[in-house]
Chain A
């Protein structure tokens, strides 16, 4: 029996009285990009936090490569090949750009091949020796991507990496993510910019209030009355 790379089944996450995730089920295959869109507070980042182990789900399961990894901590998942970028990256400022990535390669990689030079890939090869405390926001995001890639993930969760990029940079980033998927990596991409998501994938999940309200292509989503209601207001 063959497994999907990632199977998230009926995951519930409650904060106090607020159901941030209310029974979410998503699946990603190796080499596939899944886009997740939805308004602020719809649970997108919470879902990534559950998959990457930062939050333990209150109900439901997360299976990765056929194994139940529900409730594993982020370190263990990172070593097993699940990694993520942060919406607000916090690179290790007391280290250089290169040391940031070296740490990830040393502690996270565990024998998987991965990309030869993540810093080159992220476009940071000219500032390797610079202190991570001197980076612009865009460079911090690039470094966060390089750090995640240095652990040679099989599943990469990308949380709003495109925010604040210009059209040329957006296009370059899309090409990079497509390249990663082409190499066999599974990706979940959270993004507000629908055009950017459209460039990456036809398979999109629309979330609202902790639930998926739609799965399909973006074009279909635009015709779905519930999606339109969420986006345009009722």
Chain B
């Protein structure tokens, strides 16, 4: 009798770790999707990716300090602000980078600079201390599922992530612009000769990359707690791990990578919590050793 009860409890804990890992992982899939899109379409390595997540988080913070207790306005603001910024910002930098002799290396350096600037600006405006965004949903009672309590905030974050990811997939696989985007991922020169306006499509993708990062930022108080101007660096590294686990240049890979990352992280937090922050790095090393092209990779990476 005694052992049965213990086994049942262990099983429920394992089940909890997996389900919460999936919720967590979906958020991280969204958080890293843009990094993968930018690399796939433009061969840009966006080292400032996490900082755009941070910008999204502080947009939400500003809305919150003006008395908006739900994340929806923050999400809408991010789409408008980062979408517009991304589209406009592409034209002075994108064509030069993609036309250069080594877009990957040069973009790495460029976005390192962007990252420093964004961090410095955020510190100047909001200060160095972590701030909290107290969305109303954070105060809602945990949801009971099969004997375990789950945070409604996590469910909301995962739900919004799924919707955004599905929207990006709808764009990529069910619109003509999405076909054109995938054509550019295939080959830039052929795309140009096909009459596709490569730079306009790239600008849209650049905007999409910043928007998905920013949306993850708005959701981040729901998943990772308080926000601060230097949070970007850690997020960039996590996003790189997620993207490489899935496979660089393949947006589908981000979802797989996110789920694997989320579930492994939660399993570690459950059973070996002091080691859990090592998860992204260990996964990254394992993948690079065992399957350098990522789980969904086809060996197309030239980096």
Q: Which residues of A contact B (CB under 8 A)?
A: 52-54, 73-75, 78-79, 83-84, 86, 89-95, 99-100, 102-104, 106-110, 144, 147-148, 151
Contact = CB atoms under 8 A, between A and B. Distances in A.
Contacts of A99: 179
A209 B183 CA distance: 35
17 contacts: A54-B193, A73-B192, A74-B189, A74-B192, A75-B197, A89-B190, A91-B186, A91-B190, A94-B182, A95-B182, A103-B176, A103-B196, A104-B195, A144-B190, A147-B190, A148-B193, A151-B194
A103 B179 contact: yes
A106 B192 contact: no
Contacts of B198: 75
Interface in B185-211: 185-187, 189-198
Nearest to A79: B195
Nearest to B195: A108
Nearest to A147: B194
B195 to A, nearest CB: 3
Given A75-B197, A107-B195, A108-B194, A86 B176 contact: no
Given A99-B179, A103-B179, A90 B193 contact: no
B284 interface: no
Interface residues of B, number: 18
B182 A104 contact: no
Given A73-B192, A74-B189, A103-B183, 16 more contacts: A74-B193, A75-B192, A75-B195, A75-B196, A78-B192, A83-B193, A91-B190, A92-B182, A94-B185, A103-B176, A103-B179, A104-B194, A107-B180, A109-B195, A144-B190, A151-B195
A89 B193 CA distance: 12
Nearest to B95: A73
B186 A107 contact: no
Nearest to A104: B194
B179 A78 contact: no
Contacts of A84: 193
Contacts of A95: 179, 182-183, 186
Nearest to B189: A54
B255 to A, nearest CB: 16
Nearest to A49: B189
Contacts of B193: 52, 54, 74, 78, 83-84, 86, 147-148
A86 B188 CA distance: 13
Nearest to B172: A94
A178 B230 CA distance: 65
A102 B192 CA distance: 15
A79 B196 CA distance: 9
B91 to A, nearest CB: 14
- Name the 10 nearest CB pairs between A and B, nearest first: A108-B195, A107-B195, A74-B192, A92-B186, A90-B187, A78-B195, A92-B183, A104-B194, A94-B182, A107-B196
Nearest to B187: A90
Contacts of B197: 75, 107
A59 B176 CA distance: 38
Contacts of A107: 180, 194-197
A103 B194 contact: yes
Given A95-B179, A103-B176, A90 B186 contact: yes
A83 to B, nearest CB: 6
Contacts of A79: 195
Contacts of A144: 190
B190 A78 contact: no
B103 to A, nearest CB: 17
| Chain A CB within 10 A, most for which of B180, B186, B187 | B186
| Chain A CB within 10 A, most for which of B176, B189, B195 | B195
Contacts of B186: 90-95
Contacts of A89: 190
A102 B194 CA distance: 10
